[in-house]
Amino acid sequence: MAGLESWHDGAAKAAIVDFVGRAVRDVAPQERVAVFDNDGTLWCEKPAYIQLDFLVRRLAEQVAADPTLTDNPAYRAAAAGDLAWFGDAVTQHYNGDDSALKVLAGAVLSAYAGLTVEEHAERVNAFFADATHPTLGVPYTACGYRPMVELLQYLEAHGFTNYIASGGGRDFMRPITTQMYGVPPERVIGSSVGLDFVDGNLKTTSTPEFLNDGPVKAVRIWGRVGRRPIFAAGNSNGDIAMMEYATAAPNPSLALLVRHDDGEREFDYVAGAEKSLQLAEANGWTVASMRNDWTTVFDGR
């Protein structure tokens, strides 16, 4: 089982190795497509999404320039440093209530409107150069899960092509996915806003394009990849459709659900993942327990 050194020998690791063996034997290399969620699957998503930190800083800048924006709950929370409001908005979304998410989306969509895609990437790189996780005290780039990076490498070594299919922003992830995971930007599928072509440049708009979550993930994977994945990894209710899509084909397939149950090394929570955990048991999906299946969570820890 070389290549999965940060995984304990157990049911989850055995299921991965067995699946990869069957895929190598029975599935042509071009059909070996793997898709991974990002937040909570490849990197830490608590106490708030990493991208929310990036966005909240921008919203706070906008409030400082225009205090009347505090009439909007999203800007008010940003000015107060209330990251819990943003996390609650996303959790409510996963539980079927989009009222707060709509408010948040309106603010997010206007945050970086008018920038070229290169200018936006520069701001993302500057953020990752300086920002640290609020409770773990390490750079965000050190918050990738070592076992999942090993899994990406293990799949690639066996002829798989890995894609990231995340609800996070496509243009927020692309500048750092090669560095963190070895996944190039052209294989990143995420939420996005519209772009305008102006004077030879692509500029961001405030018009939503895709919220890459739930059933949209499956649609977008097909639209971008043109193949049905045979492996899918996620951690929340928003990943259910993606995992169902991967496991509905006749080819060997595997759905892997990361369970956050290690409050000492990371976090312990099920909010936003209740339905996915129920379906994992009902559908025979593989559940990877951080506490029981991973010898380490982050590099060196």
Return the pLDDT at 110: 82
Instruction: For residue 88, count other CB atoms closer than 10 A to its CB.
Output: 16
CA geometry: angle 74, 79, 82, nearest 5 deg: 70
Return the pLDDT at 98: 86
Which pLDDT tens digit goes with each residue over 253-277? 999 999 999 999 999 999 999 999 9
- Checking if the pLDDT of 69 tops 60, the result is yes
Which pLDDT tens digit goes with each residue over 189-246? 999 999 999 999 999 998 989 989 999 999 999 999 999 999 999 999 999 999 999 9
Taking a C-beta distance cutoff of 8 angstroms, is the pair 209, 170 a contact?
no
pTM of model > 0.75: yes
Return the pLDDT at 1: 46
Q: Which 8-state DSSP code applies to residue 262?
A: -
Q: How far is CA 35 from CA 52, 69, 89, 107, 124, in A?
A: 23, 38, 25, 29, 23
Return the pLDDT at 80: 87
Question: Torsion angle, CA of 98/103/109/111, rounded to 10 degrees?
Answer: -140
pLDDT, average across residues 141-165: 98
Which CATH number is 11-44+144-201+210-293's, of 3.40.50.1000, 3.40.50.10470, 3.40.50.720, 3.40.50.300?
3.40.50.1000
Taking a C-beta distance cutoff of 8 angstroms, is the pair 221, 36 a contact?
no
Return the pLDDT at 23: 98
pLDDT, average across residues 99-122: 88
- Produce one character per residue of 150-166: b if its CB has 16 or more CB atoms within 10 Å, e if not: bbbebbbebebbbbbbb
Return the pLDDT at 89: 84
Angle at which helix 240-247 crosses helix 215-225, to 10 degrees, equals 50
- Checking if the pLDDT of 52 tops 90, the result is no
Question: Torsion angle, CA of 82/87/93/99, rounded to 10 degrees?
Answer: 0
84: left (phi over 0), alpha (psi -120 to 50) or beta: alpha
pLDDT, average across residues 144-167: 98
Domain positions in the chain are 11-44+144-201+210-293, 50-111
Percent of the residues in the chain that have a pLDDT greater than 70, as a whole number: 99
* Backbone angles phi and psi of 208, in degrees to 5: -65, 145
Contacts of 263 (CB under 8 A, 6+ apart): none
Least confident window among 29-33, 65-69, 216-220: 65-69
